[in-house]
Amino acid sequence: MQGGVAFGVHFIAKATDGNGEGSDCSVKSTNQDAVCLIEGLQFSTVYTITAVACIDAKCTVESPTQTNVTLGEETTTEAALPPTDDNNNTPTVLSGGAIAGIVAGVAAGVFLIVIALIFICNKIKRDGKMFTASYLHTFLLSEEEEEDEEEDEDEDEKEDEEPVPIAA
């Protein structure tokens, strides 16, 4: 971890199973990503992995725990602390919720486009006219003009009403 070399930072990762038994590893900070191998783990076992960073005898608070299951005959787990260098081109993994949100947004956009096309095609079909760019322009203007005419009619009706005399 860049900057950790000057302070002599050690990273310690620990894997414990449900019985509190486990293994740990430590690695001294370098200018590269800090990686250590936790050896002696049993296969097909659920382990809780935590990590701390220490300078001399003072250590940070434990990292949030991660739960991993060892698979097959593998007896070594690699625990890596997240890199701090933003220029190292590490891939970003999207969670299931983020992917679902993206898919839902795209589906909603496609749905709205289809509804708009159906609306426009039905309007053209009713009018019996050929679809052209000038017709679309006229169609869009006619919608605005109809709204303006309705507003004008409402104002005219209000002006035509005679005032009601109030008896004293």
Domains of the chain, by residue range, sit at: 10-80, 96-155
Q: What is the pLDDT of residue 89?
A: 45
Each residue's pLDDT tens digit, 13-25: 888 887 878 787 7
First to last CA, the chain: 91
Query: Is there a contact between 83 and 90 (Cβ–Cβ < 8 Å)?
Result: yes
Quick one: what percent of the chain has pLDDT higher than 70?
A: 51
3-state secondary structure 91-148: CCCCCHHHHHHHHHHHHHHHHHHHHHHHHHHHHHHHHCCCCCHHHHHHHHHHHHHHHH
Greater model confidence, 114 or 99: 114
Look at residue 150 and tell me whether its pLDDT is greater than 60. yes
Each residue's pLDDT tens digit, 60-80: 877 777 777 777 554 444 444
Greater model confidence, 88 or 5: 5
- Kindly state the tokens that stand for 81: 């602390």
Mean per-residue pLDDT, 81-99: 53
What predicted TM-score, i.e. pTM, was given to this entire model? 0.37
Mean per-residue pLDDT, 81-86: 43
Q: How far apart are CA 128 and CA 63, in angstroms?
A: 69
Each residue's pLDDT tens digit, 37-58: 777 777 778 888 888 888 877 8
